[in-house]
Structure 1
């Protein structure tokens, strides 16, 4: 297969030429960094106030627990309200919550409630923003590259965000760091309000959360696609979730542990950059099946209880295989009608976040009964089998077609 740089039609640079995308990207960067700083500062604040490791850990966990509930209950809002209004409203809610956290009179219980409120609106914000990218950049290659950039920012937050937060806390009190988070959300709201166009809502009819989920998942192809997004991370998260006990088991030091923790996100970012910069839309579509099928195979090296070097190689390869998601993004946006796009994107991001948490918990549970290296290798085997089944289901669901414009639910196929 011959691949040239020209095939990518300008790559990521072409996305930044769209004037409306630049404030969207800047707002996303501010939101991600603000959330990371708030997580660290709030965890430190609660620990200092209570002296309880449990309360400190609970503060961090509360960033995930309300996610599924918010994504389920609020998904319909993404289509029933104008996207800009939803995005600005979510940013203002988060800014208000962060501001309330700064007040010295706010008790620990209040801090936890406010943290839950921020997490509750997060899936609505993410789903609405991802849906609106297709309006800003078009539903074609621009949308795929824009989504890729958003993911890379989120992945980079794992590498630099926590370090930045730690540095801030060496010169600022936790509440002062949270004040910066509030300012970041306000700046994000201003960027979205004045940097993007006002567009009408996609759907006027009000539907129940379950009906909205049925509308998205009722189509066989959409269901297979969304499961192909959701399920592989359940298995690929296993080595990350068990990295600390595995490193301890092979006698790796803290420096080696830190490098290993970076391997998977670095591989993921590199894979997306390669696919977005070098490959064109057709090639990205062709590599979905082979990369998805092979993406978990590097984890099989854990069966031999490898050392640091082999683990780094395996995690980097697993991350690089993540390049298949660019082609999968295009398939998904092609399969979703305009009237369902907000709900579909909110449901997608909700499932991704929730199931990664489930994957971590399952990996930890399995490691209570089995050796860590066997759990990770088993995740590679089981995950590969699941991906192959999903690819077979996707093939049976029929070939990719043009974007449906008038479909509003599963009955209109």
Structure 2
């Protein structure tokens, strides 16, 4: 008998398209790609403006103090924008808020470019950019939850934005310095104007319109302060906010004191650059590993142990380590920052949607403000105790504070995060 299979053609089965995993799932969302690109562009503009403005102010005044003040003013007004203006994030459609914030910041920087602008006006415009920034960032974080949901994708998306921010610290200031070789500070500021405008275009046409999260019943300032009180009144949310804020206040000590420690070790500008880069490199590595290799449940399970132990490597400064051991300690501490992925999940789960924009703006404002406070306190203590003792003390005191906050967060934990005690849901 002839074989029944003769003459039969077996067609190849086309391979099924690969399903994105890890961070690839986030990039598969079109709206997130627009938010990600806008974030990278605006961050580049901010870094260029910080360098260019500090150089411009120094050129105009010849004063190191005024130049440093121009840089510091990028931190201090965050607390204003994150409290009295936070209501903007919820009472207006998110896309409109993002675009208007970008254009407002572009307008402030454009005025800096005008020749003959007085130094006081330059500093006031710098404050204007910093006041708008937490409103923009809080709105963007709340929008991220709208785009990606409040689960795993949101955590990975927020992690990616943090990774971009840390990476910008590694390369942005070097690129900004190179730009100033070819351009005057005022011309370099035009790059910032362009990046803010490009960010606005991406957000306007790359994201879809969504309604406001809350009604505009009260005056803006009153509504913002009411929202802050509602957020802080909840024990669970308050504990999570402190877990976001307190560790960075202590972790910035080695960066704030990198210059005097590099001088102590006699490692020159290269050593100083390495000391400044080690913590961000560790942070990027920790976030990438946790985001791509660990399951959501695992990231939540290790969050509190990590936040407790992340500052302990600083205790090694008691031994007055050389350059290589110092870099290893900073890398290890930076890697511990992977705890933020677990905190992100808990925070977005604990905050009602109607308060989400104000809560995110408050989180951003507090984080930026407390880092500035931590840098200042590290400098004051180092004047009397020296750099190694200051960094080691920051590690010890920070670890104790983090342990107490972790215990508080554990006591306020709610099953599945479903129980909301904050009013305004």
Same fold (TM over 0.5): yes
Match of 2:16 in 1: none
Match of 2:37 in 1: 26
Counterpart of 1:199 (choices 206, 210, 219) is 210
- CA positional deviation for 1:209: 3.3
Give SS of 1:74's match. coil
Match of 1:311 in 2: 326
Match of 2:390 in 1: 375
User: Post-superposition, which runs of at least 4 consecutive aligned residues in structure 1 deviate over 4 A?
Assistant: none
Counterpart of 1:225 (choices 234, 240, 245) is 240
Give SS of 1:368's match. helix
Counterpart of 2:143 (choices 121, 127, 132) is 132
Contact 1:233 1:355 in 2 (8 A): yes
- Aligned counterparts of 1:81 and 1:403: Cα–Cα separation in 2: 26
- Aligned counterparts of 1:265 and 1:298: Cα–Cα separation in 2: 15
- Aligned counterparts of 1:384 and 1:58: Cα–Cα separation in 2: 31
Post-superposition Cα deviations, 1:247-294, rounded to whole Å, max 9, x if no partner, equal 222333221121111100000011101111111211111110221111
Post-superposition Cα deviations, 1:20-74, rounded to whole Å, max 9, x if no partner, equal 1111111101110000001111111121122222221111111112111111111
Counterpart of 1:273 (choices 265, 288, 292) is 288
Match of 2:373 in 1: 358
- Aligned counterparts of 1:49 and 1:257: Cα–Cα separation in 2: 28
Aligned residues: CA RMSD: 1.6
- CA positional deviation for 1:411: 4.9
Match of 1:142 in 2: 153
Moved more, 169-178 or 321-330: 169-178
With normalisation by structure 2, the TM-score equals 0.92
Match of 1:322 in 2: 337
- CA positional deviation for 1:244: 1.4
Contact 1:276 1:326 in 2 (8 A): yes
With normalisation by structure 1, the TM-score equals 0.95
Give SS of 2:304's match. helix
Post-superposition Cα deviations, 1:309-367, rounded to whole Å, max 9, x if no partner, equal 11001000000001111111001101011011001100101110000001011111111
Match of 1:84 in 2: 95
- Aligned counterparts of 1:89 and 1:322: Cα–Cα separation in 2: 32
Post-superposition Cα deviations, 1:167-195, rounded to whole Å, max 9, x if no partner, equal 11111121111111101111111111111
The aligned runs of 1:65-214 (5 Å cut-off) are 65-204=76-215, 205-206=217-218, 207-214=222-229
Count of residues in correspondence between the two structures: 403
Contact 2:224 2:358 in 1 (8 A): no
Contact 2:227 2:358 in 1 (8 A): yes
The structure number with the bigger radius of gyration is 2
Match of 1:287 in 2: 302
- CA positional deviation for 1:295: 0.4
Q: Does 1:244 align with 2:259?
A: yes
Counterpart of 2:408 (choices 393, 396, 400) is 393
- Aligned counterparts of 2:106 and 2:418: Cα–Cα separation in 1: 37
Match of 2:422 in 1: 410
